[in-house]
Structure formats: C-alpha cells, structure tokens
Amino acid sequence: MEDLQIKLGIIDLGYRETSDSVTSISEIIDYAVEAENYGFSRFWLAEHHYTHIQNHPYTNPDILISLIAGSTERIKIASAGTSINLYTPYATVSTYKLLNNLFYDRIALGLSKGIPDSTYIQNACNVDRNNNFSKFQDNFREIIDLLENEEENLQSKSVLIPPYKGLKPELWHLSTSFNTFHKTVDINMNHCISVFHNFGQDIHNLGFDKDHINRSSQEFYSIHERKPGLTISLAIILEDTLSVAKEKVENLEMEAKKNSVDPFIIIPSTIDTLQELLQKWQQDFGIHEFIIYDLAPTNDEKINNLKKISEKFSLSV
C-alpha cells in the first residue's frame, strides 16, 4: 500500500463565540498564521451570508484572503467556496487571478452554487432561485473559459484580465460526493468533498469507491499530465474525552435547529480517534489530504487544537 504522510488543512467559517466582528477578523488572521507555523497545508475561508449570527465578521472572504496572504509566507489560501452566482465571472476571475500573482501561486478559488437565504440579497444580485443551478453551470463554464482561453478572448472579445499570461489560480470543485468527479476530470480542476454539509450523508458509510477514485485520477493524469488535488473536508469537536465532545455536538445541533438552520454533520473526536478516522479514510479511499473545520468556539481553543493536531500528525517535521 502507498505509504504517504497525511496532510491537513483548515477551513474557517469565521465565527468566534465571544468576539465582535472586527476582533474576529484579527483572530482569523492569527489563526491562519499559526496554522502555517504548525505545518498545515491550506487555509480556506467559506463565504456565508448569515442573518442569525449578528457578530459574524464577513460575508465574502476576498479582502480577508488578501490580508491573510500578506501575513503568511507558504500556506495555500482559498475561498471555499465563492458563491459564483452572486458575481460576474469576469469580476471573480479578475480578483483571484490578480491575487494569485501577487502572492505567488498560493491563492485558490473554490466554486460554490450556494446562495443566501435573504430575498433582498438574491434580488440585489439578480439571482433567480428557480434557475440557480443552470446559472451556476453557465458561470462555471465562463470562469473556466476566461482562465483557459486568455489569448482567444483577448482577440475575439477584447477581454484582458491582468496580469496578462500570469499564473492562473488553482481551482477547486466543491462537492458532497464523487458523483461529479467526471467534471473535475474534464476541466482540469481539483476536487474537495465536504462530509459536513448535511445532504443526507452517512458519516459512517460514505459510499466512496476507491477503485473509481483511482481510475478517475489516472484518467485525469493521462489528460492533464498532473495528479488532481483530492481532499475531504470534515467538521469536528475536539475534546479530551468522547463523552464531552458528544455532549458539545448535541448542544450545537440543538442550537442550529432552534435557529431553523440545517445542522452540520459534526464528528465528536479526541486526538486519538481523529487520527484513527483519518488513517482509515486514507486507506479506504486513497486520499491523503483532509481539510478540518474545528468548531471550538474561541480563537485560543482553535489555536490550542492546531498544536495538538500538528503534534499528533507530525505536521511540522
């Protein structure tokens, strides 16, 4: 069996229980800096337009991504993902191509079809909820075209996205399964599966097929002459005992339901059970990189967990 060290990244949704919005921004930057110091591979920021969290620090992460990139040196940073139906493909590509060249090849763009619940925001952004998926596909294709056909678009459409002939941002197809992996193969994207978004997944029986993943990866390599980036993202509560972790997960699920929000699938964990789970997934699926969403409520707890995870998985070695 291929013996590769597990790589770990972090995804952050921004919320800090005891901090106001502006303080949370500083804490997110500190969290990203510590993630780099502790050897994590990636730091991803989700886009969310919450109405039930009044101290949430941001909606679109683009500005924050640039601040984090300027405060770090090595870690790869991404949106996970950008709600591309809220913006023109031209605006999205212009932002992420420039960022990826300012911060040499460290910026990635995750593509999401999610839209805000707010009718006001939908109307302001000209989003048609009944036609959302079709619009996502159109925007998706246009983003790919703008990045992949630079010379042709300059000549035929008078479109130039600076820097001309510059580095394209790494693209991630964000999904909840491998059923859409064929799209990743076709268009030279990387693929991340979220197992914490609650769309009927069974966390104990994910249903991924290692042979299918391997075949698709080989097909990808034959077309694009590189291995695709493959990750699984998961949400955890990390405690010293499972009983405490389970109790905290139950409390979070009740709070989500009280706010009429679909609860995430959160895995109660100790540092040992987290290692066991990710080693099992590595063996079962042939995937060697995982993106962790830590639901610890304060920044100090999140940073302390970075240290524990880094030491357990030997990330800094």
Domains in the chain, start-ordered, CATH in brackets?
7-313 (3.20.20.30)
pTM exceeding the 0.85 threshold for the entire prediction: yes
| pLDDT at res. 3 | 59
**Residue 113 CB burial class (10 angstroms; 0-12, 13-18, ≥19):** middle
Query: What average pLDDT does the segment 65-70 reach?
Result: 98
Query: What average pLDDT does the segment 210-231 reach?
Result: 92
| pLDDT at res. 199 | 65
Query: What average pLDDT does the segment 266-295 reach?
Result: 96
Task: Using a pLDDT cut of 90, give the percent of the chain over it.
Answer: 75
Closest alpha carbon to 240 in 296, 315, 314, 298: 296
Per residue in 249-262, pLDDT (tens digit) is: 999 989 888 877 77
Q: What is the C-alpha separation between 36 and 76, in angstroms, rounded?
A: 9
Confidence of residue 270 (pLDDT cuts 50, 70, 90): very high
Coil/strand/helix, residue 293? strand
| pLDDT at res. 141 | 92
pLDDT tops 50 at residue 164: yes
Per residue in 7-55, pLDDT (tens digit) is: 999 999 998 988 999 999 999 999 999 999 999 999 999 998 877 778 8
Q: What is the C-alpha separation between 65 and 71, in angstroms, rounded?
A: 10
| pLDDT at res. 138 | 94
Q: Mean pLDDT, the chain, as a whole number?
A: 92
pLDDT tops 70 at residue 2: no
288, amino acid identity: H
DSSP conformation class of 86: G
Q: What is the C-alpha separation between 291 and 12, in angstroms, rounded?
A: 10
| pLDDT at res. 200 | 66
Confidence of residue 217 (pLDDT cuts 50, 70, 90): very high
